[in-house]
Amino acid sequence: MFWMPVLRQKWSKVQFPSRLRYAQALFPQWSFSSILVTSLSTNYSIFTFPPFDQDLSSGGINDQPSGYLASTSTSSVLGRLFPETHVTQRRGKGVYVKEKKMTDSLLPFLDESHPEDLEISSCGKKMKLLNCIQHTMKVINDPIHGHIEFHPLLIRIIDTPQFQRLRYIKQLGGGYYVFPGASHNRFEHSLGVGYLAGRLVRELSEKQPELQISERDILCVQIAGLCHDLGHGPFSHMFDGRFIPLARPGMKWTHEQGSVMMFEHLINSNGLRDVMKHYGLIPEEDILFIKEQITGPPASPIKDSSKWLYKGRPKEKSFLYEIVANKRNGIDVDKWDYFARDCHHLGIQNNFDYKRFIKFARVCEVDNMKHICTREKEVGNLYDMFYTRNCLHRRAYQHKVGNIIDTMITDAFLKADPYIEILGSEGKNYHISTAIDDMEAFTKLTDNIFLEILYSTDPRLEAARTILKKIESRNLYKFVGETQPMKQRIQKEDYKHLPKEVASAKPSDVQLEAELKAEDLIVDVINMDYGMEDKNPIDHVRFYCKSDLSKAIMITRDQVSQFLPGRFAEQLIRVYCKKTDEKTLFAARQHFVHWCLINDFTKPQDGDVVAPLITPRKLEWNTAGIQEGSKVKTQLFPDDSM
């Protein structure tokens, strides 16, 4: 707390209800969060601020737990400047300091004139205070979270070419061609995740000081949230989900790997190691910790869940790895931001309130490991969260038109890849597919490559240019149909054989005027789940009760509701045709329905319309609806109801 006298002859005459307004009028440069008055006759009052705990003596952030109220004269910057541990009046100006209850939270509200007001005569102390004043938080106005604050170190990271690159990568890739509002980019999403990571970790720190969460920990978690998507390529998931697997078969590359590589490049090329030290971080430890939060633990040949695989932080701080990218159950701030942000831009209702989760979040010990838990009454809201995720995938992320636009862009990039050159480090040129090997080249690879190909005059890019022109004129590959496997899921290694299977599934008794080839077809296999394949993610969440905040419990699906899903994963198969003439499309639909029939897949929704000669052959396709209808009729109109 900071004790400040006000003009004696005026202050003592101001009554309690008006003192806060009066103080604000006298000191407009100060931000008063609360006011306590010891008595109506006193000549000073107590103004409190949120904790900040910045240690200027070392130019960085101390390692005391966040929210810790300094109790010694060496743990606070102002404590060092004013080492007294009792209320003391500085002569002349009459500034009062009570170090025992003082935090450094008032520092962001100071300006260059205050060292003189505080009568700091020592040049060294004055420079330390000025140094802190110049490193205040920056406020950014975000459409989702409002006015959000960022630490100066985060601003230094944001203001780099590697991070600014995210301004030119669409969050939803080809989805922008379906949802006109989905024009947002990875840049603003990354800001949101960094902010939410800070909110959650600070809430845990303030709620449970025994966790010993330091300012170093908080900064590292925020940086991980900020940088978790640095590795995305053009059109986001299209790049690592569609393009790279086709351009470089056998290479298992993910955008998380790219994020770690780009983060390392960002730190080194901008000289930020010294800046990190300046703000109290230890680069050798903390850079590793940040990377681990993005990618998860290193692979281990030993399947032992009790073994601690991380190196950035000890086992006692295992919960810190569940904030940005939660490998345990998928509940993390990354999802919270894209739920809110994507729903806002898509025009879809978001039913999950992350603020409520943060309020109920606590760390409990489970099997000698500390995990983030929530109240038992929140279990239904968590099911709603994963249902929201599923809805977003069904309605937006896996939209049949958005997906085919991503596929067409992929085709164009594959045709252009040998002829596109991107200058990387040491003067070496890279292609679209090989830019991931050099972060200098990858920094230059964004959605702008689409326009570069579209407006090029290079005759070698004609085939790629033609595909992109089709997208611009909405002359897209045509949707043939959708089905689902009834029993066994199709394995990833079999995906490449599916177009040939469909082209070969020619019905014998249907007259077709067009011949289908495998290269005319695209078979898109989509795995829909709650984020953990066929597992229920709530089985990996632990809860606590109001009666015992430290005991973690498990809640099964049957304890929540009988209406919850029994299965948590399914597979969709969509077929598209590159040719758009009516004869080829008619043939493709007959092939597709016949292929579904012989593989015991579900009946296509429009099967009776597009293939009326084929669907009657399968008894189950034509009796299931009648049987269900009879059951419903029996229930609605029993014999004695009329």
For the annotated catalytic residues, the residue numbers are: 255
Residue 161 near residue 184 (C-beta atoms within 8 A): no
289 vs 55, 119, 222, 260, 312, CA distance in Å?
22, 42, 12, 11, 4
Residue of 340, 342, 378 lying closest to 359 (CA atoms): 378
The answer to whether 331 touches 307, Cβ cutoff 8 Å, is no
What whole-number distance in Å separates Cα of residue 71 and Cα of residue 88?
A: 16
DSSP helix/strand/coil, 181: coil
Strands 543-545 and 369-375: parallel
Q: Please give the Cα distance from 175 to 181 (Å, whole number).
A: 10
Q: Which helix (H) or strand (E) holds 549?
A: strand 548-553
Pairing of strands 429-430, 422-423: antiparallel
Specify burial of residue 331 (Cβ count, 10 A radius: 0-12, 13-18, 19+).
buried
For 430, the 3-state DSSP assignment is: strand
The kind and range of the H/E element at 48 are: strand 44-48
Q: Within 10 Å of residue 483's Cβ, how many Cβ atoms?
A: 22
DSSP string, 449-475: HHHHHHT---GGGHHHHHHHHHHHTT-
Terminal-to-terminal C-alpha distance of the chain = 78
DSSP 69: P
Determine how β-strand 2-5 pairs with β-strand 54-55: unpaired
The half-sphere exposure of 575 on its side-chain side, counting CA atoms within 13 A, is 28
Can you spell out the DSSP letters for 333-372?
HHHHHHHHHHHHHHT------HHHHHHH-EEEEETTEEEE
Q: 410: exposed, middle or buried (C-beta count within 10 Å: 0-12, 13-18, 19+)? A: buried
CA distances from 412 to 319, 408, 415, 433 (A): 43, 6, 5, 13
What is d(CA 99, CA 88) in angstroms, rounded to the nearest whole number? 10
Q: What are phi and psi of 533, to 5 degrees?
A: 55, -125
Instruction: Write the single-letter amino acid at 547.
Output: S
Q: How many CB atoms lie within 10 A of CB 42?
A: 12
